[in-house]
Structure 1
Amino acid sequence: MFAIALILVYSGYSLGHSAFKAGLPVKRWVIAGALVGPAAYPLFNSHKQLAYRKAMGKQGISIIL
Structure 2
Amino acid sequence: MVFPIVLFLVLSSFLLGQAAFNAGLPVKRWVVAGALLGPAAYPLFNSHKQLAYRKAMGKQGASINM
- TM-score computed with the length of structure 2 as normaliser: 0.90
After superposition, where does 1:27-42 map in structure 2 within 5 Å?
27-42=28-43
| 1:3-30 Cα distance to aligned partner (Å, 9 max, x none) | 1000000000000000000000000000
Q: Which runs of 5+ in 1 are unaligned?
A: none
What is the Cα deviation at residue 60 of structure 1?
1.5
What is the Cα deviation at residue 58 of structure 1?
0.9
- TM-score computed with the length of structure 1 as normaliser: 0.91
RMSD: 1.3
| CA distance in 1 between partners of 2:56 and 2:8 (Å) | 32
AA of the residue aligned to 1:24: L
Structure 1 residue 54 and structure 2 residue 55: aligned?
A: yes
Q: Which runs of 5+ in 2 are unaligned?
A: none
Aligned to 1:7: 8
| CA distance in 2 between partners of 1:49 and 1:10 (Å) | 23
What is the Cα deviation at residue 61 of structure 1?
3.1
Aligned to 1:17: 18
Runs (4+) off by over 2 Å: none
